[in-house]
Amino acid sequence: MKKKLVSLLTVSAMTMAMLAGCGNSATEAPAAETATETPAAETATEAPAAETAETAAEAVTETAGNADLADKKVGVCIYQFADNFMTLFRTELENYLVSQGFSKDNITIVDGANDQATQTNQIQNFITQGVDVLIINPVNSSSAATITDLVVGADIPLVYINREPDADEEARWSANNWNVTYVGCDARQSGTMQGEIIVDLGQEKVDLNGDGKIQYIMIEGDPENVDAQYRTEFSVKALEDAGWTVECLDDEVGNWDQATAQQLVANALSANPETEVVFCNNDAMALGALQSIEAAGRKVGEDIYLVGVDALTEALEDVLAGTMTGTVFNDHIAQSHGAADAAINYITGAGNEYYIGCDYVKVTTDNAQSVLDSLK
């Protein structure tokens, strides 16, 4: 009898957790798990074969002068122009390409409007135009194999950015010696850093109701994306690795978007006033969360903690003001330069490694000002 009761309770607890979406994400997503175990997804520091964005930059200094880049055509596909982070990325990418000798008229950047069919058409158009290289931020990472086949079939080198294709796809590039690479950071590192920012505060401080558990809510980016999967998983894992007990009160998909996150966090906070930490997979959503935290009369650093990822200027200002606990710098400068350098290396014939990584940087009040200064 007793046993039955326990299992019934377990089932209903599980059902509730599933309704709330807690524990229903990255940890169980097969794609994320495969990637964890495969070398392709390893960080730049761990993978000896992987070039860092900076070494790629050095290599390029030697070759850029030889190439007549002014005549070369670059096609750039961005998954969605409305994305704050990708806006910083593409602006820097274009400026840097011009600084390296490309003509502005020969750089075409298109908006996939978060629709894979639209983006696939744009890729086909670039192929028809005969661009010399393509830089692609896929709408769906799961469409990478199709995209690669199209582009490689047209004999055009391809640099993927920001949304990492899965390990099986990356393995095809090296197996076939294709001119295809990925430039980006390892999202696991950003998640871990988010968790560490909370752990560094000390459990006493974060466990506001003193029940020995950290009550949190998670606001996820597009769950199709490894950045969202890994940040969700590894932020919480960092707390657990520190020996903390966690309790997920709510886990919602905000699709990287500020207004969506604002609404989700407003609902989550009114349903779960005992929330101690709000994890957001990016800063845009953390800014939305902050609006709702403030509207609920709560104060970050006093009765709730909030972390994001990206180090958007507004988020850095919030960290300095104490209205955000911390963020993680997603280095769009290193990544955009790395992507442009990789494109140049293909054009000059120098070639590239199949994975070009970079590091995230943990940002708290201690270094937010210097990160802000470095972005000016």
State in angstroms the smallest separation of the CB of 283 from ligand BGC. Answer: 7
Q: What residues numbered 208-267 form the site for ligand BGC, per CB under 6 A?
A: 221, 225, 227, 256
Task: Please report whether residue 309 would count as binding ligand BGC according to CB under 6 A.
Answer: yes
Q: In what order do the strands lie in the sheet with 355-358?
A: 51-52, 355-358, 180-185, 158-161, 133-136, 74-78, 107-111
Report yes or no: 173 and 354 within 8 Å, Cβ to Cβ. Answer: yes
DSSP string, 57-117: HHHHHHHHTTS-GGG--EEEEES-TT-HHHHHHHHHHHHHHHHTT--GGGEEEEE-TT-HH
Q: Which of 67, 86, 156, 286 binds ligand BGC (CB under 6 A)?
A: 86
In the bound state with Ca ion, the residue whose beta carbon lies nearer, of 30 and 202, is 202
Q: Does 207 bind Ca ion (CB under 5 A)?
A: yes
Q: Which amino acid is at 298?
A: R
Name the one range near ligand BGC by CB under 6 A: 34-42, 81-89, 165-173, 232-240: 81-89
Query: For residues 143-172, which are near ligand BGC according to CB under 6 A?
Result: 162-163
Q: Return the range that interacts with Ca ion (CB under 5 A); candidates 103-111, 204-212, 278-286, 292-300.
A: 204-212
Residue 336 interacts with ligand BGC (CB under 6 A): yes or no: no
The rounded distance, in Å, linking the Cα atoms of 91 and 333 is 10
Minimum gap (Å) between residue 179 Cβ and ligand BGC: 23
Cα–Cα distances (Å) from 210 to 236, 244, 245, 318, in that order, read 19, 12, 12, 27
Select the span of 83-91, 168-176, 210-218, 364-372 touching Ca ion (CB under 5 A): 210-218
Residue 292 touches which member of ligand BGC, Ca ion, none, C-beta under 5-8 Å by kind: none
Please, which residue, 86 or 293, has the CB nearer to ligand BGC? 86
Cα dihedral 16, 325, 372, 99, rounded to 10, equals: -20
211 interacts with Ca ion by CB under 5 A: yes
Contact flag: residue 319 with ligand BGC (CB under 6 A): no
Q: Is 245 in the site for Ca ion (CB under 5 A)?
A: no
In angstroms, rounded to a whole number, what is the distance separating the alpha carbons of residues 111 and 86? 11
Gap between the Cα atoms of 113 and 127, Å rounded:
19
Query: Please, which residue, 132 or 224, has the CB nearer to ligand BGC?
Result: 224
Phi/psi of residue 75, nearest 5 degrees:
-105, 130
Helix axes 167-175, 144-153, angle to 10 degrees: 20
Q: Which does 211 bind (CB under 5 to 8 A by kind): ligand BGC, Ca ion, none?
A: Ca ion
**Cβ-based neighbours of 219, under 8 Å, separated by 6 or more:** 252, 253, 254, 261, 264, 265, 278, 279, 280, 281, 285, 286, 289
Contact 72, 102 (CB under 8 A): yes
Residue type, 262: Q
Number of residues that bind ligand BGC (CB under 6 A): 14
Check binding of 205 to Ca ion (CB under 5 A): no
Shortest distance (Å) from residue 10 CB to ligand BGC = 35
- What DSSP designation does 23 have? T
Is 119 a binding residue for ligand BGC by CB under 6 A? The answer is: no
Residues 189-210: b if buried by 16+ CB within 10 A, e if exposed: bbbbbbbbbbbebebeebbbee
206 vs 309 by CB, closer to Ca ion: 206
Q: Choose, by CB under 6 A, the member of 42, 77, 78, 85 that binds ligand BGC.
A: 85
Under the binding rule (CB under 6 A), the answer on residue 182 touching ligand BGC is: no
Query: CB burial class (10 A; 0-12, 13-18, 19+) of residue 318?
Result: buried
Residues 283-302 contacting ligand BGC, CB under 6 A: 284
Given Ca ion, ligand BGC, none, residue 207, with its beta carbon under 5 to 8 Å by kind, binds Ca ion
Q: Residue 297 CB, nearest distance to ligand BGC (Å)?
A: 28
Q: Is 317 in the site for Ca ion (CB under 5 A)?
A: no
Residue ranges binding ligand BGC (CB under 6 A)? 83, 85-86, 162-163, 221, 225, 227, 256, 282, 284, 309-310, 330
Residue ranges binding Ca ion (CB under 5 A)? 207, 209, 211, 213, 215
